[in-house]
Amino acid sequence: MMAAGLLQSERKLPPTLAKVLVYDLLFGKGLHGGGHGKALVLKHQARLRAELARLKVRKKVNCNEDLLELTGETAPALQIPRYVRVNTLKTCMDDVVDFFKRQGYSYLGRAASMEELSSLSGKCFIQDSHLPDLLVFPPRTDFHENQLYTVGHIILQDKASCLPAFLLNPPLGSHVIDACAAPGNKTSHLAAILKNKGQIFAFDLDAKRLTTMSTMLMRAGATCYQLAHQDFLAADPGDPKYSNVKYILLDPSCSGSGMVSRLPGETRTPNSDRLQDLAGFQRKALAHALRFPALQHLVYSTCSLHQEENEDVVWAVLQQHSLVFRLVKVLPSWPHRGLPIFPGAECCLRASPAETLTNGFFVAVLEKQPAGNDRTSSLPV
Ligand SMILES: C[S@@+](CC[C@H](N)C(=O)[O-])C[C@H]1O[C@@H](n2cnc3c(N)ncnc32)[C@H](O)[C@@H]1O
């Protein structure tokens, strides 16, 4: 920024704002929309980009992330493997594996343990040890420009975020609610599990995110869904159109404190008022979901590390419905479990960069108690 002479030329631009804008321009999603500060920075974009290129030549690095490593710290996001979900609506595992082999990658087969994922490097890839449709590449492998990504044959989705749809596992033909659905990664995963046979009612409050979701679902080849720009809390469980909904995926707004950052030292810690507001909404949404009359299986998930948004929410709601719903112990081989704050909390899954090589995440699976007869669960336990 100094080398490009930005602050010297634009004396009215506050240095802190300049830093944020220059970061967005060079390393983030770019500068879009109006704003005086943005216009001032954009005037200098050619010089800023040229200085960044010169810096990389001087430091002998190829990509922007390598500049961060020179500071002695590696951002957590740069240590997590690149997970690639094969979109079985458009292709199959064998074809995707062959494609990457033709691109010069060596395929190591199916991982026997999580340790094998942590030692990946160079041009190698492996099939995930838990999720059959997931391939794993070394950290920092970037496929955003890859042809398979641009045509929707692969979805770039963190492993932890693939757990909710995988664990809900609705059979073909099911009616499913995705209560807080945008931008739709889990909806597209549900559609793949359903092979587009069934019906997903997907709700979201945010019109912009729903627009992104439509584009994404179209690219993924998903067809078995109805989008509703609607508050899930206002959806009437007695409406006949939901009378066959046996499966609900609830992935509500949360603090996002589990999302690892791309910058060393950056954290997303909400203040306690915000945390209480979020937990209040999450409890309401979970209690509302349990009111759908045909419901049999529900997955609750967040990308938060906070007990208040995770175990506390599940426990508070479950206590009011304990005669009807119970927690299911899923993926016994998963190493990181719910915090032991109530009996059975170990049924829940937690995820973190250190223990599961993923973003921080929480998943609880609830099912309706069998009424007298022995029902075999269809969940992947
Ligand atoms: C964590 S994000 C969902 C991510 C999504 N499940 C996915 O996998 O791509 C939470 C979403 O909930 C939406 N939301 C918040 N309150 C809502 C409500 N009352 N009804 C429906 N959607 C809501 C937000 O707009 C946001 O898009």
| Within-domain flag for 70 | no
Give the distance from CA 262 to its chain's centroid. 15
Of 136, 156, 176, which residue is a domain's last? 156
Shared-domain flag, residues 324 and 229 = yes
Q: Which domain holds residue 102?
A: 82-156
Q: Which of 103, 125, 156 is the last residue of a domain?
A: 156
Asked whether residue 322 is assigned to any structural domain, the reply reads yes
Q: Both 134 and 176 in a single domain?
A: no
Instruction: Give residue-wise pLDDT tens across range 327-364.
Output: 999 999 999 999 999 999 999 999 999 999 999 999 99
Rounded to the nearest angstrom, the distance between the alpha carbon of 167 and the centre of ligand 1 is 19
Q: Is residue 66 part of a domain?
A: no
Fill in the DSSP letter of residue 101: H
239 and 281 share one domain = yes
Within a domain: 69: no
Query: Model pTM?
Result: 0.81
233, 353: one domain = yes
Q: What ipTM did this prediction achieve? A: 0.99
The lowest-confidence range among 51-60, 224-233, 298-307 is 51-60
Task: Tell which of 102, 123, 156 closes a domain.
Answer: 156
What is d(CA 272, CA 280) in angstroms, rounded to the nearest whole number? Answer: 12
Tokens of 155: 């979805």
Q: What's the CA-to-centroid distance between 205 and ligand 1, angstroms?
A: 7
Shared-domain flag, residues 185 and 327: yes
Q: Whose CA is nearest to atom 21 of ligand 1?
A: 204
Q: What letter represents residue 282's amino acid?
A: Q
Residue 251 counted as an annotated binding residue: yes
Q: Which atom of ligand 1 is nearest to the CA of 189?
A: 8
pLDDT bracket for residue 178 (50, 70, 90): very high
171 and 258: one domain?
yes
Lowest mean pLDDT across 48-62, 66-80, 128-142: 66-80
182 assigned binding-site residue: yes
Catalytic one among 224, 254, 303, 347?
303
Say yes or no to pLDDT of 73 above 70: no
128 is in an annotated binding site: no
CB 162 within 8 Å of CB 190: no
Contacts of 235 (CB under 8 A, 6+ apart): 177, 201, 203, 228, 242, 288
Are 343 and 211 found together in one domain? yes
Q: What is the structure's pLDDT at 261? A: 67
Distance 210 CA to ligand 1 centre (A): 10
Atom of ligand 1 nearest to the CA of 231: 20
Residue 254 among the catalytic residues: no
Specify if 67 maps to a domain. Answer: no
Based on the structure, what is the number of domains in the chain? 3
**Is residue 186 located within the same domain as residue 252?**
yes
Same domain, 99 and 210: no
72 part of a folded domain:
no
% of the chain with per-residue pLDDT over 90: 71
Closest-lying ligand 1 atom to the alpha carbon of residue 285: 19
Q: Is 184 annotated as a binding residue?
A: yes
CATH number at residue 141: 3.30.70.1170
Mutation test of ligand 1: which of 159, 163, 205 has the most ligand atoms closer than 8 Å to its C-beta? 205
- Does residue 181 share a domain with residue 46? no
Residue 6 Cα to ligand 1 midpoint, Å, equals 39
Tokens of 141: 């492998």
Task: List, chain by chain if needed, residues with CB within 6 Å of any ligand 1 atom.
Answer: 180-186, 203-206, 209, 231-233, 251-253
| Kind plus residue range of the DSSP H or E element containing 24 | helix 15-26
CATH of the domain at 179: 3.40.50.150
Q: Does 187 share its domain with 87?
A: no
